[in-house]
């Protein structure tokens, strides 16, 4: 409920700290208020009892020594600053007074009639100071000769005591607040920080190859157990994926020979029949067999590239000549789609590469670029030469790659979110590109262009 009152983007540490501070401040204010009320009530009760006791003592002294005895008792008690005594006749005439009867103190003594309804011995009245600071308790008692004995006592010492207690209560409240903040720092270090690490690990897992794992080594036991359970699921998924890929590889390997036999038989059938319909059906069957064989061969090539076992037939080749031939091959198809094909190779270099494999990899990138580049768009094939590497770029003006898919699209049988049912393919093209680049000792990747579109690249060592 309280979290809805805070900004959504406020970190959990600050949320907890703010709620803790509000709770602590409210608790301290409540405790101070209740403690102050109870303390003032108790001191008021004690002051009244002291006043009544003093009235009894002054009355006894008056009976024994008269006004002189009251004066000696007042002076010996050293109460000049916070007490006062006076004796009045029955009609209100002042017979004797000390200190608090002085007008400069600002405490008006009550009229005789203001206390007439109070009990004779317990007549006590509180008078507020005009400045709203201290106040005075005034009581009176009838003396045996008919006079009235008045005694007043201020609460200045009580107020000082209360302020002293409040100061220590504030000290205690601040200390309690500081101690109460300790769990926040513990929460931030033992819970929030590991959670952030787990979030970073999960994001790396989503962007990576799937081999990353959640890391929560310094977390609380519950988070460590969660990370361990989650990693167990990931390990199981990786194991099942590996088994599935191995089954696919084995199936592709086993299908290669039967497909070759079927194709040979179909070719013989095609050549032996003379009926046009039969020959046409045989030709379509041969095309389907070729597609299946190509798929099987692609799976085997990707597998060999992933395991660094792809056989390459290297030969010295000019990069400019290779890219020129490929671009020339795709220019007509691009023009038919209304797409402009460009070539940018400012510097040439001869590398030891497998022409067929590299041509196949670049062709796959161009096929994807033509598929996703809209009409009136452009595709640029360019080459950057460095001291240690040669980078071939295929840039388009299509939708680009969705954030978070930069690594996933290179996995086998995985297609990006931009792909649709109308887009041909089974998600093996980019896997083949990376397999060829890896076999040459290089790498392959993709970046989104600032102006829109994707930039797929193949990096080859200069010494390849």
Q: Are 409 and 209 in contact (CB under 8 A)?
A: no
Residue 120 confidence class, pLDDT cut points 50, 70, 90: very low
Which residues 6+ apart lie within 8 Å of 159 measured at CB? 133, 134
Highest mean pLDDT among 104-113, 135-144, 452-461: 452-461
Q: What is the pLDDT of residue 275?
A: 79
Q: What is the pLDDT of residue 395?
A: 93
Q: What percent of the chain has pLDDT over 70?
A: 70
- Cβ count within 10 A of residue 101: 16
Look at 208 and 407; give whichever has higher pLDDT.
407
Look at 291 and 6; give whichever has higher pLDDT.
291
The β-bridge partners of 125 are 138
- Which architecture characterizes domain 315-461 according to CATH? 2-Layer Sandwich (3.30)
Q: What percent of the chain has pLDDT over 90?
A: 9
Residue 57 confidence class, pLDDT cut points 50, 70, 90: confident
Report whether pLDDT(100) > 60: no
Residue 304 confidence class, pLDDT cut points 50, 70, 90: low
Q: Give the Cα separation of 136 and 114 in Å (integer).
A: 15
Q: Give the Cα separation of 140 and 92 in Å (integer).
A: 12
- Sheet containing 83-88: order of strands: 94-99, 83-88, 148-154, 135-142, 123-128
Report whether pLDDT(435) > 80: yes
Q: Give the Cα separation of 53 and 56 in Å (integer).
A: 5
Query: 28: buried, middle or exposed (CB in 10 Å: 19+, 13-18, 0-12)?
Result: middle
Query: 69: buried, middle or exposed (CB in 10 Å: 19+, 13-18, 0-12)?
Result: middle
Q: What is the pLDDT of residue 122?
A: 46
Look at 178 and 245; give whichever has higher pLDDT.
178
Query: 138: buried, middle or exposed (CB in 10 Å: 19+, 13-18, 0-12)?
Result: buried
CATH 1.10.287 correct for 198-306: yes
**Overall fold of domain 2-179:** Beta-Lactamase (3.30.450)
Highest mean pLDDT among 132-136, 182-186, 423-427, 436-440: 436-440
Q: What is the pLDDT of residue 250?
A: 64
Give 367-394 pLDDT, tens digit per residue: 989 988 988 899 999 999 888 889 999 9
Query: Can you say whether the dihedral through the CA atoms of 213, 214, 218, 223 is positive or negative?
Result: negative
Give 234-275 pLDDT, tens digit per residue: 778 777 666 666 655 565 555 666 766 777 777 777 777 777
Q: Give the Cα separation of 399 and 405 in Å (integer).
A: 13
Q: Give the Cα separation of 85 and 277 in Å (integer).
A: 136
Domain boundaries, the chain: 2-179, 198-306, 315-461
Query: 460: buried, middle or exposed (CB in 10 Å: 19+, 13-18, 0-12)?
Result: buried
Q: Give the Cα separation of 179 and 172 in Å (integer).
A: 10
**From 55-59, 144-148, 158-162, the region with the lowest mean pLDDT:** 158-162
The model's pTM is 0.47
């Amino acid at each position: 409920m309280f979290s809805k009152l805070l900004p959504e983007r406020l970190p959990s540490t600050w949320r907890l700290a703010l709620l803790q501070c509000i709770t602590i401040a409210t608790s301290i204010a409540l405790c101070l208020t209740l403690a102050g009320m109870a303390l003032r009530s108790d001191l008021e009760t004690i002051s009244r009892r002291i006043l009544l006791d003093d009235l009894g003592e002054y009355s006894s002294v008056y009976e024994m020594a008269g006004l002189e005895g009251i004066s000696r008792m007042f002076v010996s008690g050293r109460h000049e600053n916070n007490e006062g005594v006076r004796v009045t006749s029955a009609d209100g005439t002042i017979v004797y007074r000390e200190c608090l009867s002085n007008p400069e103190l600002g405490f008006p003594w009550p009229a005789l009639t203001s206390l007439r309804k109070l009990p004779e011995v317990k007549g006590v009245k509180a008078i507020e100071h005009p400045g709203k600071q201290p106040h005075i308790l005034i009581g009176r008692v009838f003396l045996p000769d008919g006079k009235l004995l008045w005694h007043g006592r201020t609460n200045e010492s009580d107020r000082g005591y209360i302020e002293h207690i409040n100061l220590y209560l504030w000290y205690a409240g601040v200390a309690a607040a500081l101690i109460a903040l300790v769990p926040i720092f513990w929460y931030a270090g033992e819970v929030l920080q590991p959670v952030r690490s787990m979030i970073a690990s999960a994001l790396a897992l989503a962007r990576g190859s799937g081999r990353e794992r959640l890391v929560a080594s310094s977390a609380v036991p519950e988070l460590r157990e969660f990370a361990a359970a989650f990693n167990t699921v990931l390990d199981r998924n990786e194991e099942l994926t590996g088994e599935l890929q191995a089954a696919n590889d084995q199936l592709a390997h086993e299908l290669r020979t039967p497909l070759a036999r079927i194709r040979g038989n179909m070719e013989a059938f095609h050549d032996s029949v003379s009926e046009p319909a039969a020959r046409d059906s045989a030709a379509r069957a041969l095309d389907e067999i070729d597609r299946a064989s190509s798929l099987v061969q692609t799976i085997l090539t990707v597998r060999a590239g992933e395991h660094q076992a792809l056989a390459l037939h290297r030969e010295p080749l000019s990069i400019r000549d290779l890219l020129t031939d490929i671009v020339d091959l795709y220019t007509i198809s691009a023009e038919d789609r209304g797409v402009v094909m460009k070539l940018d190779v400012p510097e040439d270099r001869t590398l030891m590469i497998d022409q067929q494999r590299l041509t196949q990899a670049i062709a796959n990138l161009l096929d994807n670029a033509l598929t996703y580049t809209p009409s009136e768009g452009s595709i640029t094939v360019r080459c950057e030469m460095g001291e240690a590497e040669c980078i071939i770029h295929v840039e388009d003006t299509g939708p680009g790659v969705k954030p978070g898919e930069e690594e996933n699209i290179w996995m086998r049988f995985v297609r990006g979110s931009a792909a649709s049912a109308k887009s041909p393919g089974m998600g093996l093209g980019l896997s083949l590109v990376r397999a060829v680049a890896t076999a040459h000792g290089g790498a392959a990747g993709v970046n989104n262009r600032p102006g829109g579109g994707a930039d797929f690249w193949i990096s080859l060592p200069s010494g390849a």
